[in-house]
Amino acid sequence: MPKKVSIGVVTSDKNSKTRRVEIPRLVQHPRYGKYIRQKTVCYVHDENDESHQGDLVEIIEGRRRSKTKRWELVRILDKNTAVDLAAMQAQSDIAESEVLESEVKAEETPETESEATAAPESSGDATDDAKASE
């Protein structure tokens, strides 16, 4: 009996050497005739951890490796090019805070030097004021 070959999208790549692949399909409702979107979920063995979430992959039926894993990865048809907006936002926030911190440090350095030179003068003025009030 020939092995089944399917094409689907990787929806989870959290496990080591295991991918969750969804194969979308349209099914016509038996009574109303409306086409309904359904999906078949397959757990796929990915020996080299090549695929990642969002990739379009070709899978083939293989030997049973666990209770749910019965498919093997043949090849990656299309890599995911979508951008993770949350990760990009976090990176930009970190970079922005680092820039602000470096600017603040650059501004504080000259001020502390001027305060250090002004401190002896002001302390002398304070003693003069104290003598004048006596």
The residue among 101, 107, 53 whose CA lies nearest residue 76 is: 53
Q: Could you give the CA distance from residue 33 to residue 64 in angstroms, rounded to a whole number?
A: 36
pLDDT band at 132 (very low <50, low <70, confident <90, very high): low
- Quick one: how many helices (H) and strands (E) in the chain? 1, 5
pLDDT in tens, 72-118: 999 999 998 776 677 777 888 888 888 888 888 777 776 555 555 55
3-class secondary structure, 67: coil
Cα–chain center distance at 16? 18
Q: Could you give the CA distance from residue 67 to residue 80 in angstroms, rounded to a whole number?
A: 28
pLDDT in tens, 52-70: 999 999 999 999 999 999 9
Q: pTM above the 0.75 mark?
A: no
